[in-house]
Chain A
Amino acid sequence: MSDAAKKPAAAPGLGATLASIVNGCFGDYLSQRDNGLAIDMAFYQHNRPLALTPEALRDAFPAPTGKLCVLLHGLCCHEGSWDYPDSPVRSYGSALQADLGFTPLFLRYNTGLPIPYNGKALDTLLEQLLTAYPLPVEELVLLGHSMGGLVLRGACHFGAERGAAWVGKVSRIFYIGTPHEGAALEQVGHLVNSILHAVPNPITHLLGDVANQRSQGIKDLRHGTVLEGAAGIAAGPWLASAQHYMIAGTVTDDPEHLAAKLFGDGLVQPPQAGENVRLFPGIDHMQLAHDDTVYAQIKTWCAST
């Protein structure tokens, strides 16, 4: 990746990280209570929300291109999760900008809200983006890490349903460590919660009640809910006009190892092998969002016709 690939230097700090974690855990509650910690969905640059006006976008992107890539983080994260730990100015977005001329936009959103709700909000936001963008958009590439991939599927469904213009621009969608078939951790969490409530003891009931306060966003990960009543690879909507690519990792270098079979990338099980599916052994869930070998594959797919 070229050093010229630059992302705004002001990375999200500890406050933004803590706020994102709290949003992931209790984001629906924060939103209902109009709490000051609740994150409003927006594209972020320099750790600040980007106003979707032609002037603001021209200021933010002095040399805009007609090719955009939109990056969505996962549960309890913010756009900083795309940054390489050893070089915070590097990310898949900045690399795609340097190598293939894409203008990167990083979304930050309240990951505790229901996934279908975030999908709908993203549909609206992408519509506003394309209206305000200073150039006609020729191509839109979407990258979603973990929960972000489910939000992307929801947004594409809502956009396609109402014939939104942005949907026709989407050429490729990358699902990076996305739990299309549900996340094992939340499935275990739900089981433990049910057991705590089933035991006739006030203390276990209390613990169950506390655990049940987790956000709807987390609960939606149990089955990989994309829309109300639609979850899983087979059931959920897939935008027909775009290419879909799945990237997964495993906790061990050997994908046949028992630990890799049981824990996948640590949080998500890999999807079944297929044409547009690529497994990266030894790369865990969080590392999938900032790894050179993963980026090389994304770049290859993006450059292919």
Chain B
Amino acid sequence: MTNLHTLRRKTVNIVMLTITGLCTLFAAGTLIYILGYLFVHGATSLTWDFFTKLPTPVGESGGGMANAIVGSGKLLFLASVFGIPIGFLGGVFLAEFGGSTFSYIVRYVTDLLNGVPSIVIGIFAYTMVVLPQKHFSTLAGGLALGVMMIPIAVRSTEEFLRAVPDSLREGAVALGASKAKSILTVVIPAAKNGIMTGIMLNLARVAGETAPLLFTSFGNRYWSSGWEQPISALPVMIFTYAVAPYEDWHKQAWAAGFVLLTMVLTVNIIARAVLSKRKHVAR
């Protein structure tokens, strides 16, 4: 009886532990499969023309997405101009002047903004920029991505500033520096690597955003003629090309997916390497 009981417990133990192992295998296997599939399909679809040529009209093969690559760059630039200063300064406020009810509210609202679905942010940019101007524009797309960058910029800045030991702040103040001076010349430089890495990760995240661009920057099959005009972006092109019924477009979508994912993952891997190195030093 007791033996049977023990046996049952031991069996349950082994079976359940194996199942959790299989779960892990499945999760990790999915990643390897996804990456492998995308890299094989993407790399074989990638040609030099992809980086240098404009999309060709329907029915003509060849062509590339040079305009979408530049377009993504321009959108990210606008997003950074809009999102990083607000996010960074907000993060400095929370880390260095925090503690009040106001900063608690700011932190809460920032988290709330971070949870807003990207498509809703797109609607916001649409009503703010597209509706008054009555046409799609690069500006609207940049605004949408910029709003998406704010909460993450706030969080990562605050986190890395908080990681700076108080003894550094106290040292600076003891030497006669004002609080502002100690923040500018001691605290921020000490957290510089972390903050920069956070910004890179942030850019990598919004670089893949598609939904908020669909009705703000819209898309463009040619070079965009200015900030006020619609512009093409890599993720939007992936969407358009993947759901279109043309074999040739599907290939281009794979190539674009390959380029986008390579960029995003490279930034992520480098960022993680930088952050973990920093952690080791701190330990």
Q: Do A and B come from one complex?
A: no
Binding site for B on A (CB under 8 A): none
Binding site for A on B (CB under 8 A): none
